[in-house]
Each structure stands twice: as structure tokens, then as C-alpha cells.
Amino acid sequence: MLFNSLEFTIFLPIVFILYWLLNNNKPTYQNFFLLIVSYIFYGWWDYRFLSLIAFSSFADYLIGLKMSQTDNKNKRKLLLITSICINIGFLGVFKYYNFFADSFAEAFTLFGRSFDPFRLHIILPVGISFYTFQTLSYSIDIYKKKLAPSKDIIAFFAFVSFFPQLVAGPIERATNLLPQFYAKRVFSYQKAADGMRQILWGLFKKMIVADNCAVFVNDVFLNYNEYSGSTLLLGGVFFAFQIYCDFSGYSDIAIGTSRLLGFNLMKNFSFPYFSRDIAEFWRRWHISLSTWFRDYLYIPLGGSKGNNWFKIRNIFIIFIVSGFWHGANWTFIAWGFLNALYFIPLMLLGKNRINTGNIAEGRVLPNLTTIAQIGVTFFITIIAWIFFRSASISNALEYISILFSKSLFASPEVSSPKTFMIASCFIIVLVLVEWFQRDKEHGLEITPEKIPFSIRWSLYFFLVVLLISVGGKQEAFIYFQF
């Protein structure tokens, strides 16, 4: 079920009303209800994969309990390894098996031999990379004794399958989200109203900006060898905004929906295209994944301790694994590798944490230095996004070679001028709104008391009309494929 679908427009109000009617002193009824509706939400796509998420939930629930029953280090480690094997095993089979099989077969051709690998004809379950990481971090935190295991099986299953963030995050830690399932939820009009505004802003980013950008982006990347460098540059810029608005739009809707139900999810994006260097970009982009890799991979590897070679090794590992997490294609690995190359000079020079505060703090407009830093960071991010979006590395390299040719200075060509203009106008609106809201949680966060009722509701009505009138063709969220 898509957030931008008619089905969800009907589904959410029904869930909201029934959920709060079940409110009492104990959250058990609400948790059970959330479990049922979450399975309906996920099963709407393909009910066959409900058994997968149920098995993953049950396995980690039992493993967590078993770890709490022993202080024997070897037994605890064996249980943790079991959890890792189950979760990574699911990813390996459903997401990466065919990739490794095909790569192995291609390697044979280098030696003049042919090899026909056995391939699995299976569908990649939506959200598998997200909920497996969520349950995996639960087991790791119990192993490290940072978290007590859940003894409430309904609460735990509801935590794993919580429908707002089930298929595309944020990747929540059990230390933050699971305790909220134990506590009584109290309805807050202020929280719910802000949640509705965040949902509306997320829909604006997805349906108005991302889906209209997609029309131009799909055409350019499919026919890149027929266009000028200037058109390819625009294609890269539009894809940067498409993937940002698509993914952060999903996160906004997920966080807003959770607030309607009395839950607080972590912030997943913090206006990343205003970043002044690539290190700041990664502190602002897909925060739940970046911090997951930091805490469960980078720090255990030694982090920034040791000599420069160890630091470089760790940076390459975390970025390449991050790229591989996104998909079974060498383009994602190249994307991660390129971001590591961007990051390493900052780390070696000790400048990877110089831009940690808000951009242009206390000023309406940035100074020229800040503008230049943001521009350079955005440009190198676009180059990396070209690898992310391309079908193959050779396609990406050819795309970039055309982009930097003499035709970069030619007039851009647009196949669908109307859609292009709509996307361009609303990209400008997005940038302006987010710039002036850059110290807020989301672009539509406001203080109701400071804005008259008539102005607020006129804005909401206007945005709804925009969603209906100029919302692009209903597209699945990009990160559903990961």
C-alpha cells in the first residue's frame, strides 16, 4: 500500500479512529490492533512475504530472551551470530544471491571459460533491508547489554512491523521505539496537528516535486546519449531533487503518521542539500542508516582510532557497504566508493566536523563562502548520484563524459516542457521553504498561535488542491526497491 494512494487515504482515518477508541490504561489492545493493521498494510503488496517478517520477528524475539537467560559469553555470542545469520541470510538470498551468481559467472569469462549459474526467480520483498536492520540492532543491543529483551511478544511484533516506517524507514532502534509500545499513549491534539502538517509536506515533496521530476529524469537517463551535456547536467540536478523529495517525503509521512498515533520517530533528513561539505551531507542525509552503520560497523571496526591507513580502510568499508546495502549492482558500490573518496580528505585534514551547526546561523542569507561551499558539495553529490541512477557503471561513465563535453554549453533540450516547468517552479519553492525552515523539524512546521486561522487553512487547502491538480503520475517510492 502506497502512502500516495487512494487506499491509504481511506486506510489511515479508519486506523486512526479505531486505534484511539481502543485507548485504555494498558496499551495491549492498541499494540495488537497495530500489529493487525501493519500486517494488512504490508500484505496489501504481497501477502506471501508476511511469513518472512513473522519468522524474522519470532526468531529475534526468542534469541533476545535466550541471551538474557545466560551470562555465558560463548553462548551469548553464538545466539548473536544466529541472529546475524538469519537476518543477513534473508538479505543474501532475496537481494544478493543472483548478483553474486552473475558476478561469479562473469569472472569465469575472464579466463576464457563459460559458466551458467543457477539463478533464483524470486521477488525482492519490500522493505527487507529496513526491518532486518531494525531487528538485527535489537539483538546486538541485547548482546551488549544496552537493552533488556522484550517479554511482550505482541509489543515486539508490533515494533518490528510498525506500518508507518516498515518499508522505507526510518530504521528505528529498539532503544527508542520499543519502550513507546510499553507505555500508555495519550492523544495530543498539538502533536496530531503537527503530524498532519508533516504528512502534507511529505506528500508535497513526493507527489509535486519528485513525481514531476521523474518524468524528465527517466527520459534523460534512458536516452542520455541523445542529449547535450547541459541537458544531462539538468538531469542530474533533477534526479538529486527527485530522490531527496521521494525519500525524505516518505520519511515525513512516516513520522507524521506515527505522531497521529502517539509515537515519536527519529528525524531522518535535515535539509541535506544545504550542507557545506560531504561530511555534513552524510550527517543530514538518511540519518537513521548513517548512524546505524556508524554504531554497528564503523565504531566496532575502530572508527577514527589508529593510524591513517586504518581510518581510510574503515571509511571505505562503511561507504562501500552502505552502497551495497542499497542494491545488488556495481553502480551502488561505485556510488559508495566515490563518496568515500570525497570524505577521506576531510578526515585526514581533520575538517570532517567543522560544519556541525545550523547553516548561516542568525542570518537571513548565507555569505558568499557558504554559497560556494554548498554549491561545490551539491555538485559533487550530483556526480555521485549519476552512478546511483545509472543502469551500469559504463553507462554512468559515458553519461559523465557527455556531460563534461563541449555540449555542456549548448541549450538544454526538454521533451515535456510543461512537466519540466512545473517541477522547476516547485523545486524553487521547496528550496525557499526549507531554507527559511532550516532550523525546524520539517518544512511545514509552524506555531499555530502566530499565524491566523484563515491563513493556515488557506495554505492547507491550497496544498491539497496542488496535490490533486499537478501531482505527478502515482509512482512507487524509490526506496521500496531497497
Residues catalogued as catalytic? 326
Measured in degrees and rounded to the nearest 5, phi and psi for residue 277 equal -155, 170
Residue whose C-alpha cell reads 552524510 in the numeric block: 282
b/e 163-192 (16+ beta carbons within 10 angstroms → b): bbbbbbbbbbbbeebbebbeeebeeeeebb
Peptide bond into 170 cis (omega under 30): yes
Q: What is the DSSP string of 228-268?
A: -HHHHHHHHHHHHHHHHHHHHHHHHHHHHHHHHTT--PPP-
Distances (CA, A) of 35 to 24, 38, 86, 160, 185: 17, 5, 22, 9, 16
Secondary structure (3-state) at 410: coil
